[in-house]
Homo-oligomer: A and B are copies of this chain.
Amino acid sequence: MIIAIGLYQGFTALDAIGPYEILTYLPGAEVVICADRAGVVDDHNGLVHLRVDRTFADVPRPDVLLVPGGPAAGEYARDNHPIVDWIRKAHPHTTWTTSVCTGALLLGAAGLLDGSRATTHWAFYDELASYGAHPTEQRVVTSGRIVTGAGVSAGIDLALTLAADIAGPEVAQTIQLAIEYDPHPPFDSGAPSKAPKAVYELAVAALGD
């Protein structure tokens, strides 16, 4: 089973590494990190430099395709970045096509979300809707073979959901225990509906920087 994680310049590191850490535990999984070209791919802070050896052309038919988000995803979606073409051509053959955060905009640009329920980072619901999707305020949204996750950290919940779909609940629970995923955030402000208004406004400003 080939699981391809497709990167691009300016991706958000946790969007990719959260699911990666879970999916690599799946029995029989070959996880392939790939990009348009081989070489170094920088994250959106310009501080994480990932050397990527495989290209989209090397992995045209993954069983599971995962696209992380990043501040540049919206622009890449509009400009038909090569990752959009990869998604479009690979999707008919995948078992699961998935995204984290604004990676959903790239699925949208590939024409995969028209008329479907999907999710993305809470600040990008309108942009997601512009691709015909029905934005859904939910951590993980499964719509047929397409699974979309909410912002950044939601990739962990998405990957555990996928792990259970692929290998059964016992394997997913084992992975959860192996990575000790027993979350205890010190605050309860991880969703717009839960955060104080001042925090919400600060987050909107921080994301706009």
Contact = CB atoms under 8 A, between A and B. Distances in A.
Contacts of A146: none
A143 interface: no
Contacts of A172: 186-187
A50 B48 contact: yes
Interface stretch (A58-66, A84-92, A126-134, A177-185): A177-185
Given A152-B180, A177-B190, A53 B49 contact: yes
Q: Which of A17, A139, A175 has the most CB of B within 10 A?
A: A17
Interface string A134-166: 000001100000000011111011001100100
Given A50-B50, A190-B177, A198 B170 contact: yes
B191 A182 contact: yes
Instruction: Give the number of copies in the complex.
Output: 2
A115 to B, nearest CB: 25
- Give the secondary structure class of A's interface: mixed
A186 B161 contact: yes
A186 B200 contact: no
Contact of A199 (B170, B179, B192): B170
B185 A206 contact: no
A185 B140 CA distance: 10
Interface of A: 12-14, 17-18, 20-21, 24-25, 31, 33, 40, 45, 47-53, 101, 121-122, 139-140, 150-154, 156-157, 160-161, 164, 169-192, 194-196, 198-200, 202-203, 206-207
6 contacts: A13-B21, A17-B18, A33-B47, A156-B185, A173-B199, A182-B194
